[in-house]
Amino acid sequence: MTPERFGERLLAWWDEHGRKDLPWQLNKSPYRVWVSEIMLQQTQVKTVIPFYQRFMARFPTVQALAEAPEDEVMHHWTGLGYYARARNLHKAAKIVSTDYQGDFPGTVEALQALPGIGRSTAGAIAAFTMGQSSAIMDGNVKRVLCRFLGIREWPGASHMQARLWELAERYTPKQRTGDYNQAMMDLGATLCTRSKPSCLLCPFNDSCIARLEDLTKSIPASKPKTDKPVKSTVMLMLQQQDGRVYLEKRPANGIWGGLYSFKEFEDLDAAQTWLDLKGYRYQLEPWACFRHTFSHYHLDIQPVLARLENDVTEVSEAESVWLQVVLNDIEIGLAAPVKKLLAQIEKTQ
């Protein structure tokens, strides 16, 4: 099937069955589409919708986001994960607000120069809101192309990137590009799903190679397996006699950058030595160890509650807070395991 015929069939299917009322499809603007595209990286539509609505209610314009304190931006991202996305969003908002007077730049290249905006996000903003004929490449597009064309290699392999982009550009039409991109995402999200594609309802079921050769279970190929390394850490939960708990802000780079967390140590001995050197009086209560998994490694976390018996003010030079733990009231960004531990502390109060 020619790319032209593919596009016509896809658009005819989308006109009848596509999603047209997602929150970011209404009142479309580069800002609204950009935020949705960043949230949708690694996260499903139904999870994103409530986060997106809260985020837009609080930061309705790129200027509002640029002017907001970083802690508040991180707070609105808590639960979405991959926090570098929120930090980059904030940085890019400041650049658009100051260097471009609040108007997003009008080319894919200039959009891509902003922090956190890759080729696909730039393509989506340009196609959805500026009428440009730019291609996109998310997991849905990759899956549909790989199945339709019978590509058996793992699409994440570095040599596959250029090939998939070349195919995406060849198939993306010059007219109705935004609708076509949305249609590819919708087809991938609603019919050509990873585990159970609904081929009988698909406009390509007479010509899709994965369907004709019964390869839908093996395409797209999975990443070749490698065992993730395991790291470990001790999280020291310092608690004052009045119940307040100590949290400090992590450096901007590295895991959970810019979020608040407990002090961490290599092992229990190191934590205890630090407490003794500080001259604190305390009772230690080790809690059950648990595992948090990142994309590249597992982190085994040993939480330890240190109930302080003398009042402590300054703990370190890092930006920090002593919090009364009432989870609903906390307005700072927290990593998921820290939030979980605070919930446990709240229960014991």
Could you list the residues that contact ligand SF4 (CB under 6 A)?
144, 147-148, 191-192, 197, 199, 202, 204-205, 208, 210-211, 216
DSSP labels, 230-272: EEEEEEEEEE-TTS-EEEEEPPSSSTTTTSEE-EEESSHHHHH
DSSP category for residue 61:
S
* Residue matched to tokens 């969003």: 89
Give the CB-side neighbour count of residue 274, counting CA atoms within 13 A: 17
Least distance from ligand SF4 to the Cβ atom of residue 7, Å: 14
Phi and psi dihedrals of 316, rounded to 5? -155, 180
User: What is each CA distance from 235 to 278, 285, 303, in whole angstroms?
Assistant: 17, 12, 5
Contact 293, 227 (CB under 8 A): no
Nearer to ligand SF4, 219 or 325 (CB): 219
Residues carrying an active site annotation: 37
Nearer to ligand SF4, 9 or 339 (CB): 9
For 73, 75, 86, 88, 288, the CA distances from 91, given in Å and listed in that order, are 11, 16, 9, 5, 38
Q: Please provide residue 229's backbone torsions phi and psi, each rounded to the nearest 5 degrees.
A: -70, 160
CB of 197 to ligand SF4, least distance (A): 4
**Which residue, 97 or 216, has its beta carbon nearer to ligand SF4?**
216
